[in-house]
Amino acid sequence: MRLEFGLTDEPTNTRFAPLAALGAYYRAQNTLAPLQQVSMALKTVHYCPADKLVDVLVSILAGCVHVAQINTRLRPEVTLAQAWGRDCYVEQSTVARTLDALTQTNLQDLRAAGTAIWRAHSQALHHDWRGWLWFDLDLSGLRASPHAEESTKGYFSGEKTPQAVS
């Protein structure tokens, strides 16, 4: 699949272009293959349980706060679905029923799949521990930016952080 990014007047635009690129990359690398190991006793009409779990992942990455937002946010995005190897996204009630049907065994399988994906792609796990691993932490408690989404000033007991002098 060849991806092109740019402005067009065509009806195939997507507002989730970075997410489309991520989906194409995940498909090329077969990153989400461990999700196929999550076996559920559900009727499969058009989509298997792994497809529905991928839809949940995409909805989280697309900023959906609730499963119901899949219908309004993801289902109209046909181009995004195609980048993830699908014709369209599953209807939200189907996703909700799938999540409701998860048993403890399914959750263990899902946890194992998530761990397998994490282990294969974790940079910290593959770090050469003979050297340093640097973490960049901001302990100032200041807002990231007045325009940062849901940014709040952190709470630190003790001294206040002095304001920077320009």
pLDDT band at 109 (very low <50, low <70, confident <90, very high): very high
| 68 falls within a domain | yes
> Taking the CA atoms of the chain, what radius of gyration do you get in angstroms?
20
3 pLDDT higher than 90: no
| 152 falls within a domain | no
Cα separation of 37 and 6, whole Å? 37
pLDDT of residue 34: 93
| 161 falls within a domain | no
158 pLDDT higher than 70: no
| 60 falls within a domain | yes
Looking at the structure of the chain, the number of domains it has is 1
| 105 falls within a domain | yes
**Residue 78 lies in domain:** 17-121
For 113, the 3-state DSSP assignment is: helix
pLDDT band at 121 (very low <50, low <70, confident <90, very high): confident
* pTM reported for the whole predicted model: 0.69
Tell me, what DSSP letter sits at residue 119?
Answer: H
